[in-house]
Copies of this chain bind each other. A is one copy, B any other.
Amino acid sequence: MAEGTQLIRGLEGVVAAQTALCDLDGANGRLAYCGYDIDELARLATFEEVAYLLYHGDLPKGGPLDQFTVALIAAREIPDALVRAFRLMPKDTDPMRVLQAAVAVLGMHDADATDNSRAANVRKAIRLTSQMATAICAHHRVRNGEDPVPPASDLSHAANFLYMLTGKRAGGAAVKAFDASLTLYAEHEMNASTFTTRVITSTLSDMHSAVAGGVGAIKGTLHGGAGEAVMRTLFEIGEVDNVDKFSDQAIATKRRLMGFGHRVYKAGDPRAAILRGMAEDACQQSGQFKWYEMAVKLHGRIGAAKGLIPNVDFYSAPLFYSLGIPVDLFTPVIAAGRIAGWSANVIEQHEDNRLIRPRGDYVGQKRRAFAPIAKR
């Protein structure tokens, strides 16, 4: 390693890129996309408007939003070859592995796949946003031995997702909560999966290749995979009355609980507060309020004992569960939101690119002479 350099574990605090997408103020627990506070976006904007905002830098007026919405709806179909590929996959396959393969396959069928111009990238971003949703739902149906539900062109992105997943039209409150969830997950600066898409893009690779990498990254339990891990913890606890005992044991054994803590937010994750409110309503609505109660109690106990604060993935778990989303689709759903940010970051990276290529600190064996096999 060159003199004067030193290892920065996890690249903590290193600024890897300029961005006009996400304004993340960890010290004050504030988050904004393109200047708009996440709280207002989650309450007042649709996911379609948020995606437009990320691709174009401003919220759309009526005409452009209509055009954008039409483009998203028109892009919902996935190639029949992809559905046929789903049928070849083992039934118990992790849906995130399916999604990673599906993104690569969607690239094979995308006429703009290798065109890295801004115009082509926006077209691909729209297609990936719609097609990833369809692919997630189609695969879920196929693995259950059902036929995919064709997208409904009169439904919003969020409503259509729930429809393709279940074959039923969800109520207004559920659709709003799901739509807001997609918005809350849409973008988050240089998180590991978005950073992955930037590193891949920086070689002058393309959006599909980059997004497939992002899918691989968000899968981890230190990232989007935390939501599923939280729900499995709640299942393990089982009942509200068990939370105290479980918490005591987790604290005593120093068990790592997912959904707590964040690299950047030290005073609280603003998304968690919004999701908590939505989880409360949704658990009430679903008639299974206990998941919300357990989460609140766990939050209180772990927070008090260890000073840990829930992150975005903590309250999304009981929320998604109450919305009827299968637990192993929590992370795909998160990816279906984050695609807006991933693709916007790919666009930004292509517009002002420099190969992302850090160094390693070699700590291995010193130079040594090769010995032929008989002399080793």
Q: Which residues of A contact B (CB under 8 A)?
A: 1-2, 5-24, 27, 32, 34-37, 40-41, 44-45, 49, 57-62, 65, 81, 84-85, 88-90, 93-94, 96-98, 100-101, 104-105, 107-109, 113-114, 189-193, 195-196, 199-206, 208-210, 212-223, 225, 263-264, 354-374, 376
Contacts and interface: CB of A to CB of B under 8 A. Distances in A.
B217 A199 contact: yes
A1 B65 CA distance: 32
Given A208-B97, A209-B97, A14 B8 contact: yes
A225 to B, nearest CB: 7
A101 B99 CA distance: 10
B359 A264 contact: yes
The quantity of this chain's copies bound in the complex is: 2
Given A32-B367, A190-B359, A199 B209 contact: no
Nearest to A44: B370
A92 to B, nearest CB: 9
A353 to B, nearest CB: 8
A191 B200 CA distance: 11
A215 B114 CA distance: 15
A58 B371 CA distance: 11
A209 B217 contact: yes
Contact of A37 (B9, B221, B370): B370
Given A41-B370, A205-B216, A16 B225 contact: no
Nearest to A372: B44
Contact of A20 (B7, B17, B362): B362
A1 B89 CA distance: 44
